[in-house]
Copies of this chain bind each other. A is one copy, B any other.
Amino acid sequence: MATLEGIAIEQRLVDHHCHGVLMRDLDRAEFESLLNEADRPSPLGTSLFDSMLGLAVRRWCPPLLDLEPHTDADVYLTRRQDLGVEEITRRFLGATNTECFLVDAGLAPESISSPVDLAELAGGEAHEIVRLERLAEDLLNDGVEPRAVPDRLTATLENTTAVGAKSIAAYRTGLDLPAAKPARDDVDAALFDSQPGASGHRLVSPVLSGWLAWTAIEAGLPLQFHVGYGDSDADLRYGDPLRLTPFLRATEERGVPVLLLHNYPFHRHAGYLAQVFEHVFMDVGLATHNTGALSAAVIRESLELVPFGKMLYSSDAFGLPELYYLAAVLFRRGLAAALQSLVSADDATDDDADRISALVLNGNARRVYRLGPEDAA
C-alpha cells in the first residue's frame, strides 16, 4: 500500500476548487488576515497563529523556506519576505505535486494570479470554473440592459471554455434553491430590480441564484456549490447542504454532476447526499487546512457514507501559497491515516487503499470534469 509518506508525495493531485495566489509581499497583519476566515486578528483573542491552522503553518511551512519545523512566527515571516513572493510561491505550489488546478477566477482583487499564472508557478495545468453570480454582475456593471442579460448568460454558459460553474448562493440567499427553473419573467424582474452599490451590482436573489444554477445544469456544466464553512459574510445556518435536497431531487435525472464544496461542519450531511443522489459529489476543502492536524477526523467522518467514487480533493486555497501546500499535505495525510487504519485492522486491503486514494486524489475529478486521463507523473 501507499504508505502515509507515499500518499503524501507520490500521487499527483487534481485540485478541483481553488482561487488565485497573491503575488506581493505581506507584513504580519496582512499575513494573519489571509490565514483563515476571520477578517483580521481579534484584539480580544490574541494571534491567529494560536490555532490549529497556525500550528500547521509552523509545522509544515518553515522547512520549505530552509528553516526548522515549528519556527517562531516572526522568524518565519522575515524569512518569507527575504525570499520574496515569487520564490516562495514556486516552492509551495511545486511541493503540492498538483497536476491540475480548477480555478474559480471570480474572486480576484488586485495582485491575484490568473489560472494560467498559477499553473505556471506550480508546474501543472489549470482550467477555469466560472462563478455564476459574478458573471451576471459583470454584465450589469458593464451596462448590459437587464432584459438582455439572461440570453447573454445562457449563451456564455453554453459556449464557455470553463470546465464547470460555481454558485455562491450560500453567500447571498442561502441554499434553499428552487426545484424548478425560475420563470423568465421573474428573472427579468429580479435583474431589473438590482441596484448597484458602491462596488457595483451584487445579486442577492434566490430567483437569480436559482436560475443561474439551473442554467448551468442545462448547459451540462458540472456545478459547484459553496456549502458550509466560509467567512462571516455568509450565515452558516443557510449553508447546510440538506437545504439543496429539493434542487438535487429535481436535477438528478439530468446526469450533470453537482459538487458540494467545503461542507464542514455539515460534511456528514454531504456524505449522505452523495450516497443517495447519483449526481452529487463532495469535498472538505478549506476545512482541511483550517483544522490543521485535526482534519484527519473530519476526513474520516466524511468517508462514513460517501461512495469513494464521489469524494474529491480541493484546497479552496486563496492568496497565501502556504494554504495550497498545507491543504495538500494535510489532506494526503488525513486520507492516508484513515486508509492505513482500515488496512491495519484488516478492514481493507492494500489494493483497496491504493485504489481509493487514486480515485479521491485524482481520478474522480478527472472523470467528473472530463479532464482526460491522468498525466504520467
Binding site for B on A (CB under 8 A): 36-40, 42-48, 50-52, 55-56, 59, 69-70, 229, 231-232, 235-237, 240, 242-243, 245-246, 248-249, 252, 255, 257, 264-265, 268-269, 272, 274-279, 281, 290-295, 297-298, 300-301, 303-310, 342, 345-349, 352, 355-356, 359, 364, 367-368
Contacts and interface: CB of A to CB of B under 8 A. Distances in A.
Contacts of A229: 272
The quantity of this chain's copies bound in the complex is 3
A250 to B, nearest CB: 12
A242 B232 contact: no
Nearest to A230: B276
Contacts of A349: 70
A235 B246 contact: yes
Q: Which 5 pairs across A and B sit closest by C-beta, in order of nearness?
A: A46-B309, A42-B278, A265-B268, A293-B347, A232-B276
Given A56-B347, A300-B297, A37 B276 contact: yes
Contact of A50 (B47, B249, B355): B355
Given A44-B368, A45-B310, 18 more contacts: A38-B275, A38-B277, A38-B307, A39-B276, A43-B278, A44-B255, A44-B278, A46-B309, A50-B356, A55-B347, A70-B349, A231-B276, A232-B249, A235-B246, A236-B272, A237-B245, A297-B300, A298-B304
A248 B231 CA distance: 13
A69 B275 contact: no
Nearest to A277: B232
